[in-house]
Chain A
Amino acid sequence: MSLLALKDIHKSFASAEGPVAVLQGVSLAVQAGEVVALTGESGSGKSTLLHIAAGLEPVDAGQVLFGTQDMAALPDAGRAQLRRGTVGLVFQQFNLVPSLSVGANLAFQARLAGKHDAAFCTDLAARLGLADLLSRYPEQLSGGQQQRVAIGRALAARPEVLLADEPTGNLDEATGDAVFALMLELARAQGTGLLLVTHSARLAGQCDHAIHLRNGRLA
């Protein structure tokens, strides 16, 4: 059974000219330890699909299955609980909690999910090169450092699925490559399924599978 299975997802948005269909019957699956790249042009619906997978965006039709549990059918509180315990999210803009230190940011989701393991967190921080930065605040870090904190925060909760939306889009190529390699390594080591939205064919090439979206459909 897939860790994450999106089945026949439909989604449209209202506009002045009428509804715009963004996703039209998209299906995909992510297995344990598998890294899936989702590529496509701007406006093809990649991020919308990722948001749907995270339970951030409701679907018009279709199923978002984590094992046998359909996230799309859950109320807001159920979706939040599933997100807290099962999903890790990494964004292009890092989205760290600015009022918390690096250490607190790293541990936050794990503690929220009741899965905090201090030793694991410390090890993760060391592997991410953040051990000396734990008492700093996000605004005091570079972009690359912030993204490493965001990845660490997502992985510290030992999620079954990691959803990453252009995680290196805001970084220069060298930093982006290093961060991506680290994320890949950690996700594979934990057996976490990774769905990665990217524009980069080079990064997609390093994944187990690449799925291309065009006009809301799988190409």
Chain B
Amino acid sequence: MENYDNLLNDLAPKKFGKVGVIWTCSLIAIIIVGIIAYIDQLIKGQIVTNMRDYALWGIYISNFVFFVATSFVGSVTVAILRLTKNKWRTPLVRIAEIISLAAIAMAGVTIMIDMARPDRLLNLFIHARLQSPITWDVIIIPTYIVISFLLLYFPLIPDFAILKKHFKDKNPVLSKWYGKLSLNWKGTAVQKALQEKSIRIIALMIIPVGLILQTIDAWLFSTTYRIGWDSTNMGPYFIAGAFVAGIGALVTVVYIVRRAYHLEAYITDFHFDKLGKLLVLACLTYLYFNINEYLLPAYTVTKDESVHLNTLFSGSYSPIFWAVTIIGLIFPILFLLFKKGRKPLPMFIIGLVVVLASWWKRYLIVTPTLLHPFLPIQGVPKSWHHYFPSIHEWLITLATLAMALLIITLLVRFLPIIPIQRTADEQALLNNEKDTKS
């Protein structure tokens, strides 16, 4: 029982310290600035961006793709590790579910920021046409939001009941909220069976839905004729990329939460080692699809393809391209293959690099292709031949990233970040085993 109290004290949500408050306030400040920039964009139109008739999509779209990719982490860690019965996932799943939910919610917001007529949003339902990939997105993104939410919520129910008791005297208001969210959880056999079954169904559903989501995202590009997008490789390429971005984000957030909440006893080097192996698997898979995506067209060198590849390999986009490929993909693989590279701190740095590279990778997928269309770019101002995001675009994009981080921060603040009930059960199981052995 003493054990259990310790556990509860360790894992129950705690108030933020000074750093936590400063962090939250700065996120809110960034969001406010972004909202002001967005209102300005609404008033003046998208002329405030640097997008024009040729570079018709910019970082709003690449940021959207980044969010969608990152949201894949829920499917991978929760569902796949569950199906493969990997026990080490227990202290990590909730963080993964939180990232997943925050990312997919922000993906929905970001795509609306790119719409020049958000006031006509309802047209997507009133006049929906099923052959448009955007309609597929309109169907799959809300579906994924709901499933991600349920996958986060169902396992939380017993924990809410525990927290209701825990905060009864310390914080009655919070306790009341936890009580409402626990849906009268008593821990009876019927409730447990029902909860088990619900989680199993959702965990199974999120795999195909997650794969479909990534694939549809890829099809937004590969359903066009454009060089660099018109590729049958796109679906698996995006899935592999999402695998990398998601695990990278997970590693980063897990490290920070572990430090901030002093959870070293629960999230150990062993967990980072396992995560590192998963990340290197993701990176190797992604490297394979990158080779398919770039080296095959480089072998046949049709005229259009060579223009595209030259801007990436040696042209104006080459610094970003090589940084993303070497620092963001090949270096992580090299470091993670060694045991020392899979220690917490190196893993944190690698995770951060991988996430940054994933963001810029989407920029490289969206922008260069638009700037070499089939017919030459003529009859438009010189500035339309290039694209780099404007201040408005940066402010708004930063705000969306800050908002995703704020959602994660708030959920980390108010939810038990490591499943209490599950950990207790597993520890009890472990103790029982010890008892029978001795």
Q: Do A and B come from one complex?
A: no
Interface residues of B (CB under 8 A from A): none
Give the B-binding residues of A (Cβ under 8 A): none
